[in-house]
């Protein structure tokens, strides 16, 4: 076959040089070099270069390079590093990279090491040690993945997807599915995830979420529901609901209702001396002090 226009063939090393596009092709190893776009491909499986979309698909080994942003391939670890946008792609298991949404989904092996700018340095120490390897200091863009649990966080759309358990987080509506897995990360509101204790603390809005005990969070009223102990904590009004003992304590309005014994106590100054605290040991009696949102009752 005739060679294309402006091509030079070097039989000694099987090079095909096309000066017009600054590309070098090595038919023996099927590698393509594009110096103008700063991309380098590993010569083990016949890559195809698509200048129109600035990407290089490699279906056999699942590589996806973005030459327009100076991708670098590290053959020793089979990873693709994009320093400008901080992508780290592990292409050994057919990853799908979506630069437009800053997300990488790898349901089969779940490798991604990207951070969101909202995860500031003062929050990093609060994270569990098993998260630390994924939170590399030199990666600062858009996505966080828990490789052990196959979770992908997409802050741009406020979704937390865990393909292994099909749980979805919608921070805009403060709803969490599958609380038994204890994974919740809210970069937009500076939440801290503590997988060791399965708790999420937001001091700015005074709530504590304990997914291990099926907690329900209501940040608008600063309340925490703990079904395991059947308590509702509202630090703003210092009220506690304990359905297990059928008692309601509201120090702000000085009412204590215990339907199990059909008693109503009003600890106002008129008869405060006659007030008897609840007999149940797990019903806290609060006297003029707000409840701490971080304390277990």
Q: Do both 201 and 291 map to the same domain? A: yes
Which residue, 42, 73, 104, sits at the end of a domain?
73
In a domain, 189, yes or no: no
Q: Do both 202 and 149 map to the same domain? A: no
Q: Do both 219 and 290 map to the same domain? A: yes
Number of neighbouring beta carbons within 10 Å of residue 91: 20
Mean pLDDT of the chain: 35
User: What's the domain range around 284?
Assistant: 197-297
Which residue, 9, 44, 73, sits at the end of a domain?
73
In a domain, 250, yes or no: yes
Q: Do both 258 and 218 map to the same domain? A: yes
* pLDDT at residue 122, as a whole number: 25
pLDDT digits (tens, 9 = 90+) for 123-155: 222 222 222 222 222 222 333 333 333 333 333
pLDDT band at 249 (very low <50, low <70, confident <90, very high): very low
pLDDT band at 1 (very low <50, low <70, confident <90, very high): very low
In a domain, 233, yes or no: yes
* pLDDT at residue 23, as a whole number: 44
Q: Do both 278 and 215 map to the same domain? A: yes
Instruction: Tell me the average pLDDT across 263-283.
Output: 32
pLDDT digits (tens, 9 = 90+) for 161-217: 333 333 333 333 333 333 333 334 333 333 333 333 434 443 333 334 333 333 333
Round to whole Å and give the CA distance between 67 and 71: 5
| Structure token digits, residue 206 | 């005074």
* pLDDT at residue 84, as a whole number: 35
Which residue, 44, 73, 102, sits at the end of a domain?
73
pLDDT digits (tens, 9 = 90+) for 40-74: 343 333 333 333 333 333 333 333 443 333 334 33
In a domain, 129, yes or no: yes
* pLDDT at residue 260, as a whole number: 38
Q: Do both 138 and 44 map to the same domain? A: no
Q: Do both 152 and 111 map to the same domain? A: yes
In a domain, 79, yes or no: no
* Residues 102, 156 contacting (CB under 8 angstroms): yes
Structure-token match 């080994």, residue found: 61
In a domain, 291, yes or no: yes
In a domain, 190, yes or no: no
* pLDDT at residue 188, as a whole number: 35
In a domain, 287, yes or no: yes
Round to whole Å and give the CA distance between 200 and 208: 6
Q: Do both 170 and 100 map to the same domain? A: yes
Q: Do both 57 and 112 map to the same domain? A: no
**Bridge partners, 175 (sequence order):** 170
Q: Do both 138 and 101 map to the same domain? A: yes
Q: Do both 169 and 202 map to the same domain? A: no
* pLDDT at residue 163, as a whole number: 34
Round to whole Å and give the CA distance between 13 and 279: 90
Number of domains in the chain: 3
Q: Do both 201 and 258 map to the same domain? A: yes
C-alpha separations of 20 from 25, 57, 129 in Å: 13, 22, 51
* pLDDT at residue 118, as a whole number: 28
In 95-241, alpha helices (H): none
Q: Under DSSP, is residue 23 helix (H, G, I), strand (E, B) or coil?
A: strand
* Residues 59, 47 contacting (CB under 8 angstroms): no
Nearest to 184 by CA among 226, 144, 137: 144
List of residues 6+ apart from 4 with CB closer than 8 A: 18
């Amino acid at each position: 076959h005739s060679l294309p226009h402006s091509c030079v063939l070097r039989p000694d090393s099987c090079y095909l040089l096309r000066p017009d596009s600054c590309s070098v092709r090595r038919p023996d190893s099927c590698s393509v070099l594009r110096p103008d776009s700063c991309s380098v491909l590993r010569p083990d499986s016949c890559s195809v270069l698509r200048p129109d979309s600035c990407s290089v698909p490699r279906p056999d080994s699942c590589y996806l390079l973005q030459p327009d942003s100076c991708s670098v391939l590290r053959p020793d670890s089979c990873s693709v590093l994009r320093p400008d946008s901080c992508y780290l792609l592990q292409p050994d298991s057919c990853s799908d990279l979506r630069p437009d949404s800053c997300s990488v989904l790898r349901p089969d092996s779940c490798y991604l090491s990207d951070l969101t700018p909202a995860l500031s340095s003062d929050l990093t120490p609060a994270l569990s040690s098993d998260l630390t390897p994924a939170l590399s200091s030199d990666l600062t863009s858009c996505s966080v993945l828990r490789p052990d649990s196959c979770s992908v966080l997409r802050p741009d759309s406020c979704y937390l997807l865990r393909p292994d358990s099909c749980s979805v987080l919608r921070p805009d509506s403060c709803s969490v599915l599958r609380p038994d897995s204890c994974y919740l990360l809210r970069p937009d509101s500076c939440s801290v995830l503590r997988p060791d204790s399965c708790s999420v603390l937001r001091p700015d809005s005074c709530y504590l979420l304990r997914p291990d005990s099926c907690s329900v969070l209501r940040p608008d009223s600063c309340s925490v529901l703990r079904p395991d102990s059947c308590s509702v904590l509202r630090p703003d009004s210092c009220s506690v609901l304990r359905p297990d003992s059928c008692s309601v304590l509201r120090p702000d309005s000085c009412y204590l209702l215990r339907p199990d014994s059909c008693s109503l106590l009003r600890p106002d100054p008129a008869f405060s001396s006659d007030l008897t605290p609840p007999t149940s040991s797990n019903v806290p009696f609060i006297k003029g002090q707000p409840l701490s949102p971080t304390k277990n009752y």
